């Protein structure tokens, strides 16, 4: 899965929040269809909370008991191949889909993101157990003259 380019917002690089927001459009169209029901539950990804239903399963919504672990554990790589253990989760209050965790600060520092930067994001499952992984970095166009 590849994104068409996301914009970095000031809150993504805030020294207080330490999280990266993934748009609901990317979640719905590209990410969620490639996630298992267990991954969706661990990430607390629920649509239509008022009805108490997970749209994909049509069953009553039950928060995954492992919520203490902060969400679905994922590996995020920067464009230099450095890996960071983070969590993918949906926040209860705003229903924002975020990547967060203790290693986000280091990921942010090394990525040199600035407000309004366009970034690219790829998601894939690793060969060792099918764990969800991301590659996130600044988007740039290379123009070559031959």
Instruction: Quick: pLDDT tens for 105-119.
Output: 899 889 888 888 888
CB 56 within 8 A of CB 48: no
Extract the tokens encoding 81.
């191949």
Instruction: Read off the pLDDT of residues 2-50 as tens digits, 9 standing for 90 and up.
Output: 455 666 766 666 666 778 888 888 888 889 999 999 999 999 987 554 4
Whether 51 shows a pLDDT value over 50: the answer reads no
Q: Which residues of 39-75 are buried (b: 16+ CB within 10 A; e: fewer)?
A: bbbbbbbbbeeeeeebeeeeeebeebeeeeebbbbbe
Residue 62: the pLDDT is: 52
Share of the chain above pLDDT 70, in %: 70
Which residue has tokens 């009805």? Answer: 51
CA-based diameter of the chain, in Å? 59
Grade residue 52 by pLDDT with cuts at 50, 70 and 90: very low
DSSP-derived pairing of the beta strands 72-77 and 118-125: unpaired
Mean pLDDT of 112-131: 88
Whether 68 shows a pLDDT value over 70: the answer reads no
Share of the chain above pLDDT 90, in %: 35
CATH T-level topology, domain 6-138: At1g16640 B3 domain (2.40.330)
Residue 142: the pLDDT is: 60
Residue 67: the pLDDT is: 47
Instruction: Read off the pLDDT of residues 69-91 as tens digits, 9 standing for 90 and up.
Output: 589 999 999 999 999 999 999 98
pTM: 0.76
Grade residue 53 by pLDDT with cuts at 50, 70 and 90: very low
Instruction: Give SS3 for 57.
Output: coil
Instruction: Give SS3 for 73.
Output: strand
Q: Helices H, strands E: what count in the chain?
A: 3, 9
């Amino acid at each position: 899965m590849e994104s068409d380019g996301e914009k970095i917002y000031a809150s993504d690089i805030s020294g207080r929040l330490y999280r990266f927001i993934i748009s609901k459009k990317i979640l719905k169209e590209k990410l969620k269809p490639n996630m298992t029901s267990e991954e969706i539950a661990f990430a607390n990804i629920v649509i239509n909370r008022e009805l108490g239903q997970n749209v994909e399963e049509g069953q009553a919504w039950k928060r995954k008991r492992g919520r203490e672990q902060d969400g679905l554990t994922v590996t995020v790589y920067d464009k230099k191949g450095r890996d960071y253990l983070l969590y993918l989760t949906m926040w209860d209050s705003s229903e924002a889909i975020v990547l967060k965790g203790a290693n986000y600060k280091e990921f942010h520092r090394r990525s040199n993101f600035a407000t309004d930067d366009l970034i690219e994001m790829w998601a894939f499952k690793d060969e060792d157990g099918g764990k969800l992984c991301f590659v996130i970095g600044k988007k740039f166009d290379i123009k070559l003259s031959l």
